[in-house]
Amino acid sequence: MAKQPMLKFVQIDRDMPAKRDATVRREDFDEIYAEYAAAKAEEQASRCSQCGVPYCQSHCPLHNNIPDWLRLTATGRLEEAYATSQATNTFPEICGRICPQDRLCEGNCVIEQSGHGTVTIGSVEKYITDTAWEKGWVLPNAPTQERSESVGIIGAGPGGLAAADMLRKAGVQVTVYDRYDRAGGLLMYGIPGFKLEKDVVQRRNDLLADGGVTFELNCDVDAAKFAEIREKHNAVIIATGVYKSRDLTMPGSGLAGIEKAIDFLTASNRKSFGDAVEDFDNGRLNAEGKKVVVIGGGDTAMDCVRTSIRQGATSVKCLYRRDRANMPGSQRETQNAEEEGVIFEWLSAPKGFTGDDNVTGVMVQKMRLGQPDASGRQAPEVIEGADYVEEADLVIKALGFEPEDLPTLFGQPELPVTRWGTVKAAFQTGETEMDGVYAVGDIVRGASLVVWAIRDGRDCAEAILKKLDAASAIAAE
């Protein structure tokens, strides 16, 4: 009888890839987790229970065939594992690095519920595709037949690039327009290198270009440009993401030294490319030698606190108005931040800022959690008389993002938007009420996860291909 390669979770414990020591990793922007060796990847993949109802797969927005590629990895069939992984996910090595697996696939792993520790799905996913790159298995799109139709995609983030990949595979002519000088969106400029090294993103950009995708970078889409794009292409996908930062309106909020998270992170990432960044070099967006306070509790806040540590801040504190259990960000990221020296001030909210011209402190009011609301979430309440001032030379607002006013920006008042400013688009297809115009990712959902943007981009590409095929069939009659 052949030896059973799976269900080893009883004999083998969960074992993440080695994590660099905090005192070392806080000195650079390299990724903090090492790569699995082949034997370790096979061992950890073999812990999968191959359950009849794979909750890991159903709780993945892309519905990745996780049990299948875990089994293939465990049995040494790595090229097949890569093909299976790539079949449902445009960027598996990126998702393996930055997806909050603890809230998605791994958080719903059946063996985790039985106390054996979840399968390390994200780390195996990263290993599979990184190995595929090393072995030369990752190849540019080579459509069997070119098509005459073209699609313009506004925004080179994960949603737009996922759609570009799918459309190009089918032979459609694709042009991606983006305001930045490098494609990737927040993958390139918003997420620090210690979570996602930039060569990982750039090689995907290069692969798309090698496969025939055209990029128009440094391209600000205004009313005239939007009209030009609509005229030029059979369909247009809006994949701009949401970049407008939520703000604070309270005493002292206009003081120098109070900055937006996106500006701070973009400046840091640009420096990592070797770009000239005046606001970093003059100290405005540089945490070196400063007491830093970050306001917020999501993944962007974690990126800011951990970046500040690496830039040489003298102290880094994070204010969040709820407790640790109610934090929206990844618990794994919070733990990494604590290891690196970040101090979390739970149940703390700003009520103003001190200083004359430059900020010198944050006026903090202590909170407690009140009774649960209809959704079951406890609202924070102020504890009277417990205010204090937290000293700060640099305050970073990581309060989330909102959509820009696209109807005005694009000169398209008929572009349908919700009361939150997001684009109204059909579920699954991304189709809007404007003929030939689609929208995907955060500009539809609001600020969300990279994996959801990838899902939206792929679904939208599939819908566009069906429309193009139907139009071709009618024309051929």
The two tokens of residue 188 are 């390139």
> In the structure, what pLDDT confidence band is assigned to residue 1 with cuts at 50, 70 and 90?
very low
Question: Residue 6, exposed/middle/buried by CB under 10 A (0-12, 13-18, 19+)?
Answer: middle
How would you classify residue 167: left for phi > 0, otherwise alpha for psi between -120 and 50, otherwise beta?
Answer: alpha
Question: Burial letters for 158-171: b for 16+ Cβ neighbours within 10 Å, e otherwise?
Answer: bbbbbbbbbbbbbb
CB–CB of 236/415 below 8 Å? Answer: no
Averaged confidence pLDDT in the chain: 95
The stretches of 141-213 forming alpha helices (DSSP H) are: 158-169, 186-189, 198-210
Q: Rounded distance, CA 471 to CA 464, Å?
A: 11
> In the structure, what pLDDT confidence band is assigned to residue 252 with cuts at 50, 70 and 90?
very high
Residue 371 has a pLDDT of 87
Q: Position 30: which residue type?
A: D
State pLDDT tens for residues 320-331: 999 998 888 888
State pLDDT tens for residues 11-32: 888 999 999 999 999 999 999 9
pTM of the model: 0.94
Please give the average per-residue pLDDT across 47-52, as a whole number: 92
Please give the average per-residue pLDDT across 256-274, as a whole number: 97
Q: Rounded distance, CA 152 to CA 231, Å?
A: 10
C-alpha torsion angle, residues 78, 79, 84, 85 (rounded to 10): 70
Q: Cα-flanking dihedrals φ and ψ of residue 334, to 5°? A: -60, -45
∠ CA 223-229-233, rounded to 5°? 155
Residue 375 above 90 pLDDT? no
First to last CA, the chain: 59
State pLDDT tens for residues 179-208: 999 999 999 999 999 999 999 999 999 999
Q: Rounded distance, CA 41 to CA 77, Å?
A: 12
State pLDDT tens for residues 267-280: 999 999 999 999 99
State pLDDT tens for residues 72-109: 999 999 999 999 999 999 999 999 999 999 889 999 99
Q: Rounded distance, CA 250 to CA 352, Å?
A: 5
> Which of 186, 205, 237 has its CA nearest to residue 91?
205
Element (DSSP H or E) covering residue 135:
helix 121-135
In DSSP notation, 57-73 reads HHTSTT---HHHHHHHH
Residue 4 has a pLDDT of 63
State pLDDT tens for residues 389-429: 999 999 999 999 999 999 999 999 999 999 999 999 999 99
Q: Rounded distance, CA 315 to CA 290, Å?
A: 7
Q: Rounded distance, CA 424 to CA 143, Å?
A: 32
Question: What are the CA-CA distances from residue 168 to residues 7, 163, 217, 290, 305 (Å)?
Answer: 39, 8, 18, 47, 39
CB–CB of 84/65 below 8 Å? Answer: yes
C-alpha torsion angle, residues 105, 110, 112, 113 (rounded to 10): 120
> Which of 147, 174, 180, 146 has its CA nearest to residue 162?
174
Q: Rounded distance, CA 322 to CA 379, Å?
A: 8
CB–CB of 118/111 below 8 Å? Answer: yes
Helix (H, G, I), strand (E, B) or coil at 373: coil
Element (DSSP H or E) covering residue 316:
strand 315-319
Beta strand 388-391 pairing with 359-372: antiparallel
> In the structure, what pLDDT confidence band is assigned to residue 2 with cuts at 50, 70 and 90?
very low
> Which of 55, 46, 67 has its CA nearest to residue 108?
55
